[in-house]
Every structure is written in C-alpha cells, then in structure tokens.
Amino acid sequence: MWPDRRLIDRFKTEFPIVLAPMAGVMDAELVIAVAQGGGLGSLPCAMLSAEKAREQVNIIRQRVSAPVNLNFFCHEAVDADPAREAQWRQRLGPYYREHGLDPDAPINAANRAPFDAAFCAVVEELKPEVVSFHFGLPEPKLLQRVKAAGAIVMSSATTVKEAIWLEENGADVVIAQGADAGGHRAMFLTDDIAEQPGTFSLLPQVVDAVKVPVVAAGGIADGRGIAAAFALGASAVQIGTAFLRCPESKVSAAGRVALAQASDESTVITNVMTGRPARGVANRVMREVGPISPDAPAFPHAATALGPLKVAAEKQGKVDFTNLWAGQAVRMGKEMPAAELTRALAGAALARMGKMAG
C-alpha cells in the first residue's frame, strides 16, 4: 500500500509515478507507454507548436484511456541579442570550421516558446487532467483559464522559497526538483546554481513549508529511491532519466550509446547548451566551453548556433554538441519497455516499503 494516496487519488492513476516531460527526446509514444504501465504520462510541449501539441494529445487519447499531463515552459521570452549571438558564433567558430560548416550561414532560431494564449486554447480544448509548468507559473489570467479547464496545476520548485511562492500563486501540487535532476533547473526566483539543494535535503523542507502535495524529482530511478522519497513526505515521484533508454523514447542511437556508457560522475550542470542551467551528460562543448560560460546567450538562444553542429556531429555518430539531459541517477536507466519499467518501479517501491514495515 502506498503510505500517501493524495496524488494517486487526484491523478486517478494506479501508481504515484509521474513521467518527467523531457522536451526533445520523447513524444506521445513514451507518454502512452507510461500511462499503460499505470503512471502519469507527461507530454513536453515547450518545443512543439500549438498545432503539433494538439496532434500529439489526439494520438495519446486515441491509444490510451488515462489521465495525461501537458508540460509547458513559462520563462520570460527575451529577443535574441544580435551582438551576443555574433560573439557566441565566434566562440563556436572553430567547431564550425572543423565540421566544414559556414559560420555565417543563416540558422533556424531555437524554438522553446513560453506558455501563451495559443497554448492555453489548446489546453481548454483538449482538457488534460494535469498541466505542469517549468520556470514558475504563467501570468494569472492564463493560469485561471487553465484551472477553469479543470486541470490540476503543478510546477517545480528548486528552493523552499520557490515552493512557497508556487503554493501562494495557485499551484495545486509542488514538484521539489533537487540538484540531482536532469534537464533544466526550474529555478525562477534565484539564478545562483551554487545554492541549489539536493533532492533529499530539499524534499522534507518543502514538505514542511507547503500544504499542497509534493512530488519528489531528481535522482530517483529505482524502487529504493521511491520508497525513500515517500519516507521524506512525498506524495508522488517524477522520473525522467530512468526512461531515457526505453525503446519508446526518441533518444538517438548515439545518445543511447552515451547513456549506456555514462557513469554517475558523467553529468554536469551547464548553461552552454541553451543559456539556462541544466544537468546533462557532459559532452565536448560543455567541457571545452563550459560547463558554465558567461558567453552563452540568454535562454533559449544559446541553442541556436549549436544546432548545425549538433546535426553535423550526430551524422558521425557523435554527441559532442547534443544536449543529452540526464540526472545523477543516469547509470540506473534500464533498456526495457516503459510500461514494464513503470510497473517494475512501483512494484519494487511497494516491496521495499512492505519489507521495511515488516
């Protein structure tokens, strides 16, 4: 038995396991598989158009009768600064030359759009059971519309202060995202990476500070971790990295090799890939230019100039410029179907808790 049923009951899922929305490496396939396994599938919409998001949700709805979580970014959009872009391209110039690319050729801009009225209309139309946000919450008017559409609203906190802010500003559920987590740090009230606590010191402090249910995120990849998160007061866990090697993910062949070879010391928090701090498997550009570089243009524009390099290197089977986001539990990822993995994780957690309780 799960010691805390608050979120299972609200989500109406079999297990308190939320698939982390991992923009760029997954689509409806992984959402469907996790939902079939009894977890809450999350569709990352930050890199999709409203139209594409609608199409993906329709696929999910056709294939599985289960609640779904749509995830959006709500960073403050800033225009690309031509001077910084030029400087960044210059910084990356040697890599362009190495790969026979023209550093002055036009490139498609990085596409990570914040939640807006168009996305909100999609939410109102498709009525996802859950909507989660990264980097805070959208403006109150939009948030009200999301809630009026019947969605449970979740957002991530990287500090206790952010957790309190989220609760006060209308989040129904707070995700405590520890420094162990892969992908973008959700930080929105601070930009100090040095002060980001690990999952297991952040989690109980967030549980103490807010009344809403708390989801533990970051570094959890097996039954022991889930059981431990519940001991610390979590009502659910959000897991991403463990699902990266599932056949349903969209991780490239080269990415899968890198994940299989990663050790727990392979991941770093870097800002060079997108302009915002995120944890991923260290690659060549992170090592040589970062992991933290003052030259990286503001989010998401740092990704623009890396685009052609990523494509060129991946053609040679290399992940030198690929943002392979992953958390500190990277070595615990399993190469097995996601539905099966979801059930295995839940089973192992329940067994662990049952064994501890005698």
Partner 1 sequence: MPIGTELTARLGIAHPILAAPMAMITGSRLVMAVSDAGGLGILGGGYGDRAWLEAETAVLRRYHRPFGIGFITWSLARQPELIEIALEARPRAVMLSFGDPAPFAPRIKAAGALLICQVQSEDMAQQALDCGADILIAQGTEAGGHGASRTTLDIVPAIADFAAGRVPVVAAGGIADGRGLAAMMMLGASGVLMGTRFYASVEADAPERAKQLICAAKSGETVRGVVMDWSRKLMWPAPFTARSLSNDHLRRWSGREIELMQRADEIAVEYAAARAAANFDVAAVFAGESVGLIHDIVPAAEIVGRIVAEAERTLQGRRNSLSSLS
Cβ(112)–Cβ(71) below 8 Å: no
Residue 317, Ramachandran bin (φ over 0: left; ψ between -120 and 50: alpha; else beta):
left
Q: Which member of 198, 257, 284, 314 binds partner 1 (CB under 8 A)? A: 198
Question: For residues 155-194, which are near partner 1 according to CB under 8 A?
Answer: 159-161, 178-180, 190, 194
**For partner 1, the closer CB: 138 or 223:** 223
**For partner 1, the closer CB: 220 or 339:** 220
CB of residue 137 to partner 1, shortest distance in Å: 20
Residue among 251, 238, 247, 258 at smallest CA distance from 181: 238
Question: Strand pairing of 173-177 and 152-157?
Answer: parallel
Residue 204 binds to partner 1 (criterion: CB under 8 A): yes
**Count of chain residues binding partner 1 (CB under 8 A):** 45
**For partner 1, the closer CB: 98 or 195:** 195
**For partner 1, the closer CB: 3 or 140:** 3
Residue 218 binds to partner 1 (criterion: CB under 8 A): yes
3-state helix, strand, coil in the chain (%, to 5): 40, 15, 45
Torsions phi, psi for 11 (to 5 deg): -75, -25
Residue 69 binds to partner 1 (criterion: CB under 8 A): no
CB of residue 191 to partner 1, shortest distance in Å: 13
CB of residue 199 to partner 1, shortest distance in Å: 5
Cα–Cα distance between 197 and 204 in angstroms, integer? Answer: 11
**For partner 1, the closer CB: 146 or 203:** 203
Residue 298 binds to partner 1 (criterion: CB under 8 A): no
Residue 201 binds to partner 1 (criterion: CB under 8 A): yes
Cα–Cα distance between 201 and 28 in angstroms, integer? Answer: 33
Name residue, tokens 């992940």: 319
Question: Strand pairing of 278-281 and 183-184?
Answer: antiparallel
Kindly tell me the burial class for residue 12, based on how many C-beta atoms sit within 10 Å of its own C-beta (0-12, 13-18, 19 or more). exposed
Residue 125 binds to partner 1 (criterion: CB under 8 A): no
**For partner 1, the closer CB: 203 or 246:** 203
Residue among 242, 324, 331, 330 at smallest CA distance from 283: 324
**For partner 1, the closer CB: 166 or 206:** 206
Sheet holding 278-281, edge to edge: 183-184, 278-281, 267-270
SS3 253: helix
Stretch of 46-54, 88-96, 103-111, 206-214 lying at the interface with partner 1 (CB under 8 A): 206-214
Q: Which member of 184, 256, 276, 352 binds partner 1 (CB under 8 A)? A: 352
Residue among 232, 234, 272, 259 at smallest CA distance from 326: 259
**For partner 1, the closer CB: 212 or 231:** 231
Residue among 88, 70, 172, 81 at smallest CA distance from 127: 70
Q: Mask: binding to partner 1, 263-282, rule CB under 8 A, as x and -?
A: -xx-----------------
Residue 345 binds to partner 1 (criterion: CB under 8 A): no
CB of residue 158 to partner 1, shortest distance in Å: 8
Question: For residues 1-40, which are near partner 1 according to CB under 8 A?
Answer: none
Residues forming contacts to partner 1 in the complex (CB under 8 A) are: 159-161, 178-180, 190, 194-202, 204-206, 208-209, 218-220, 222, 224-225, 227-233, 264-265, 328-329, 331, 352-353, 355-358
